[in-house]
Every structure is written in C-alpha cells, then in structure tokens.
Amino acid sequence: MASTETTAREQKTLINPHGGTLVDRTVSGDQAAALAEEAAGLPSVRLTEKQTADLDMIASGALSPLTGFMNKADYESTVEDMHLAGGLAWAIPVTLSTDATPSGDRLALEGYEGGLLAVLDVEEVFEADRRNEAVKVFRTDEEAHPGVAQIYAEGSTLVGGPVTVFQRPEPAFPALHMDPVETRAAFAERGWSRVVGFQTRNPVHRAHEYIQKCALETVDGLLLHPLVGKTKGDDVPAEVRVECYRVLLDGYYPADRTQLAAFPAAMRYAGPREAVWHAICRKNYGCSHFIVGRDHAGVGSYYGTYDAHLIFDEFEPHELDIEPMFFDHTFFCRTCGSMASAKTCPHDQEHHVFLSGTKVREMLGRGEVPPVEFTRPEVAEVLIAAYRGQ
Ligand SMILES: [Zn+2]
C-alpha cells in the first residue's frame, strides 16, 4: 500500500520551465576564477540596480529561456508583439544600456554595488526607440511613470548578447533566497505538482491572506513570493513586508503547504504586461498557477482595474502554460460573517469592513491596531513598529 502511494507521488511532475529548459548561466570553481580574471582585463559596464537584478535572474534561470540581455530582434518583437523573435510569449524587454558603443566583443558587467559579476558576449549594439517602448509596454510615454522614467534615464543605446555569471550578487534576504532549481526541488520533495504563486510588494492584510488561501484550496502548495528587488521609494520596505509574512506564516499558515521565498525582480510598474511577465517567471520557479489581483504591478491611475486580467486573453492558453487565477478586491463582510468579494457577497459597502490605504497608514502611524477583520494583530504590530521607526 505504502509503495503504491510513493509511486503515485513520484509520478507527479512540475510544470516545465518556459521554453522547456531551465537556463543556467553560472559558472563556478576554476571556471569562475578564470572568467573573473579575464573580466578584470575587459572594458566594463556598471549595471543599474534593475539591470543587476535582471542579470541575476538570467543567471538562475528565472528568466528562462533568456540567456542574456536582449538583442534587437527579441527586443522589438517583445515590444511590438509580446513574443520573442522565436515565437515564445514574452511581455517585458530585458535590456542592457550603455553610454558608448563598447569596443571589443566581450564586456565585463559590474554590479550596481560594485564588483565584477559576469561577462557578456557582445552580439549586437543597437538603438532602441524608448518612446515607442514606453507607449507599447507601459501604455504611456509620461516621464511621471516610474518605469518610463527608468528606461528614459537608461538611454537608447542597448547592447545584447549572452551572459556568463561568475559571481552572483549578494541576495537582499539570504534566508529567503531560493533559485528556481531550489523551489522546484522543494516542491517536488513535498510531492506538490500544482503550485500557486503569489507576488506582492505590499504588506499582507486579511484580503491577501484570503486570496492566497482560496487559491491554495484548489492546488497542492502555495509559493509566497514577495518581491524584494528595487521598488519606488514610498513602497513599504521589503524587510518590513518579509517580517509581516514571517509572523503570519507562524500563526496562520500550514507549514507543509506553504513556501516563502524572495522574488529578486526589480519593479517596472508596467501593470498588465508585468503581470504576464511575473507569471512566466513563476512558471520557471515551478508554479502551475499564478494569482493576479486587481491592478497587478500598476502604479497611479495608468491602468484600468482589470487590465492585468484582460491581457491574458491576448495569449493562447498553451502559450503561457501557467494558469492565471484572477481575484477581485476582497473584504470582511459583517453580514456574511466572512471574507468575501463583490462576486460572493450581495451586501453593500456599509456591511463591509473597509479602510483606505491612507486611513490604515494613519492608524498605524498613531500606533492604533486596525480591526482584526482587516489586519492580523501580529502583522499590525510589525507595521506599527516600522511606521514609528520612520
Ligand atoms: Zn456580505
């Protein structure tokens, strides 16, 4: 009997990486030492924080099938058509900018904090139409949009080619660092096949917990994957968000169904396009499902509430393979006596525990604990301490 169960478990398989193969662009040991020595003698490019995060995700296979920074064909195809030149779905350009046309066919890449990390084989140097990229990818050419401002600041001369990484940048949260190969191993070890990924850059309130647990009801496991890469200055700091997760998991999540790990990407705030990109990345980490909330990866009022849901209709289901799970705004309804959404609760807003983001920040800033239906007290304590420390 036991052996039958084991066999059934072993037969469960995880979703394939995007493009079929998990990319590994790292070298170690003697190879790494030799490449580091060569890099020291090459012309070098200093990466931004975003580019450093991109490099690290290329290295680990989180951006499979990318093996380097995009050449012109992949860049233009991504911008215009949301596919790589080879036809695979892809939503966000991953590019390296340079001030001057590099001399030579190999470039050393230096992390934003200093220190050489990788060598890029120069395939192509090309001019990008950043305004067109802004309009197509961000749906605006306004510099007030942080993602648009970023690509304008990077400039229009791009260098494309495969990278080989001999030194991974220091992870922001070493305890939560897991490469795709590691999350996949963790899922497989626990016998998970259907895994839902949840991405956030905000502190977790009851609404998020409810969505995560609704999704978990239908699959084997939950990957809580808070984004710890570069965000806007006014987002809640990653260390505070991670601490919120720690206290929440300790108290309210089944340890054998939940995996917490850091997602090292830098935010673009590209809304719908970034939702697709986030889903593809999570597929590489081994997720079969991905939660897409309202205004996923949005900023200001650049995107419609459900744009990040609708964009998935632009792909054939088999193209992405990972299944998006769409959620609406959720809340506690006093009359239903439970968490709910407009889809599941017939009562109007006066029945709901509703607090605006501004109101919550004011309460926490005064040291007041929001209603338990809105935020777990353990999470409120972490946030109050953080607001008071500012
Ligand atoms: Zn209700």
Separation of CA 35 and ligand 1 centre (Å): 62
Separation of CA 207 and ligand 1 centre (Å): 14
Least reliable range by pLDDT among 52-61, 76-85, 105-114, 235-244: 235-244
Give per-residue burial for 154-175: e unless 16+ CB within 10 Å, then b.
beebbbbbbbbbbbbbeebeee
Query: What confidence score (pLDDT) does residue 346 get?
Result: 97
106 is an active site residue: no
Separation of CA 334 and ligand 1 centre (Å): 7
Query: What confidence score (pLDDT) does residue 300 get?
Result: 86
Cis peptide before 146 (omega within 30 of 0): no
Q: What SS3 class is residue 131?
A: helix
Contacts of 224 (CB under 8 A, 6+ apart): 198, 212, 245, 249, 258, 259, 260, 261
Q: Which amino acid is at 342?
A: A
Q: Can you list the alpha helix ranges (DSSP code H) found in 190-271?
A: 206-216, 238-252
How, if at all, do strands 157-165 and 68-69 pair?
antiparallel
Of the CA atoms within 13 Å of residue 359, those in its CB half-sphere come to 8
Query: What confidence score (pLDDT) does residue 99 get?
Result: 82
Query: What confidence score (pLDDT) does residue 1 get?
Result: 40
Nearest in space to 95 (alpha carbons), one of 42, 62, 55: 55
Separation of CA 348 and ligand 1 centre (Å): 7
Query: What confidence score (pLDDT) does residue 10 get?
Result: 47
16 is an active site residue: no
Distance (Å, rounded) from C-alpha 288 to C-alpha 13?
10
Q: pTM of the entire structure?
A: 0.93
Separation of CA 296 and ligand 1 centre (Å): 25
Give per-residue burial for 211-239: e unless 16+ CB within 10 Å, then b.
bbbbbbeebbbbbbbbbbbbbeeebbebe
Asked whether the predicted pLDDT for residue 351 surpasses 80, the reply is yes
Separation of CA 346 and ligand 1 centre (Å): 5
Query: What confidence score (pLDDT) does residue 8 get?
Result: 45
Query: What confidence score (pLDDT) does residue 7 get?
Result: 46
Catalytic residue among 16, 202, 246, 257: 202
> Mean of the pLDDT values across residues 102-131?
94
Residue 200: pLDDT band (50, 70, 90) is confident
For residue 375, give the DSSP letter: S
Residue 320: pLDDT band (50, 70, 90) is very high
Separation of CA 347 and ligand 1 centre (Å): 5
- Count other C-beta atoms under 10 Å from residue 265's C-beta: 25
Query: What confidence score (pLDDT) does residue 230 get?
Result: 67
pLDDT digits (tens, 9 = 90+) for 151-199: 999 999 999 999 999 999 988 888 899 999 999 999 999 999 999 999 8
pLDDT digits (tens, 9 = 90+) for 92-101: 999 999 887 7
Any idea how long the chain is? Answer: 390
Separation of CA 220 and ligand 1 centre (Å): 29
pLDDT digits (tens, 9 = 90+) for 25-71: 999 999 999 999 999 999 999 999 999 999 999 999 999 999 999 99
pLDDT digits (tens, 9 = 90+) for 230-266: 666 666 787 888 899 999 999 999 999 999 999 999 9
Distance (Å, rounded) from C-alpha 349 to C-alpha 234?
29
- Count other C-beta atoms under 10 Å from residue 252's C-beta: 14
Percentage of the chain beyond pLDDT 70 is 95
> Mean of the pLDDT values across residues 325-341?
95
- Which CA distances in Å does 325 have to 42, 52, 154, 173, 245? 46, 30, 34, 28, 21
Query: What confidence score (pLDDT) does residue 12 get?
Result: 67
